[in-house]
Amino acid sequence: MINPLVEMDGDEMTRVLWPIIKEKLITPFVELKTEYYDLGIVNRDNTNDQVTVDAANAIKKWGVGIKNATITPNGARVKEYNLKTQWKSPNGTIRAILDGTVFRKPILVSNIQPSVKSWKKPIIVGRHAYGDVYKSVETYACHPGKAELVFTENTGKETRVTIHEFEGTGILQAMHNTEESIQSFAHSCFRYALDQKMDVWFATKDTISKTYDQRFKIVFQRTFDKYYKQDFDLQGIQYHYTLIDDMVAKLVKSEGGFLWACKNYDGDVMSDLVASAFGSLAMMTSVLVSPHGYFEYEAAHGTVQQHYYKHLKGEKTSTNPTALIFAWTGALRKRAEIDEIHSLIDFADKLDRILIETVESGIMTGDLALLADPPAKQKLSSIEFIEELARRLSN
Ligand code: NAP
Ligand code: MG
pLDDT one-digit tens code per residue, 156-178: 999 999 999 999 999 999 999 99
Q: Which residue minimizes the CA distance to atom 16 of ligand 1?
A: 282
**According to the model, what pLDDT value does residue 357 have?**
98
Which residue from 304, 316, 381 has its CB within 8 A of the most atoms of ligand 1, so it is best to mutate? Answer: 304
Helix then strand count (H, E) for the chain reads 15, 16
pLDDT tier for residue 351 given thresholds of 50, 70 and 90: very high
Give CA–CA dist 285/290, Å, rounded. 17
Q: d(Cα 363, Cα 392) in Å, to the nearest integer?
A: 12
Q: What is the pTM (predicted TM-score) of this model?
A: 0.90
Lowest-pLDDT range of 103-107, 149-153, 268-272: 268-272
CA-proximal residue: ligand 1, atom 40 (nearest): 69
pLDDT-derived band of residue 293, with 50, 70 and 90 as boundaries? Answer: confident
String of b and e for 126-139 (b: at least 16 CB within 10 Å)? bbbbbbbeeeeeee
- Is residue 266 within 8 Å of residue 125, measured between CB atoms? no
Nearest residue (by CA) to ligand 1, atom 31, is 71
> In terms of Cα–Cα distance, which of 286, 320, 363, 306 is closest to 66?
286
- Testing ligand 1's pocket by substitution, the residue of 21, 301, 311 carrying the most ligand atoms inside 8 A of its CB is 301
Other beta carbons within 10 Å of 296: 29
Q: Are 123 and 279 in contact (CB under 8 A)?
A: no
pLDDT of 54 reads 98
217 has a pLDDT exceeding 90: yes
For residue 272, pLDDT over 90 is answered with no
* Angle, alpha carbons 361-363-365 (nearest 5°): 145
Grade residue 135 by pLDDT with cuts at 50, 70 and 90.
Answer: confident
- Residue 138 identity (one-letter amino acid): E
- When pLDDT is averaged across residues 79-96 and rounded to a whole number, the result is 93
Percent of the chain with pLDDT over 90: 90
Helix orientation angle between 212-223 and 179-196, rounded to the nearest 10 degrees? 50
CA–CA separation, 259 and 166 (whole Å): 42
Chain mean position to CA 385: 25
Largest separation between any pair of C-alpha atoms in the chain: 77
pLDDT of 395 higher than 90: no
Cα 37 to Cα 8, 50, 238, distances in angstroms: 5, 11, 38
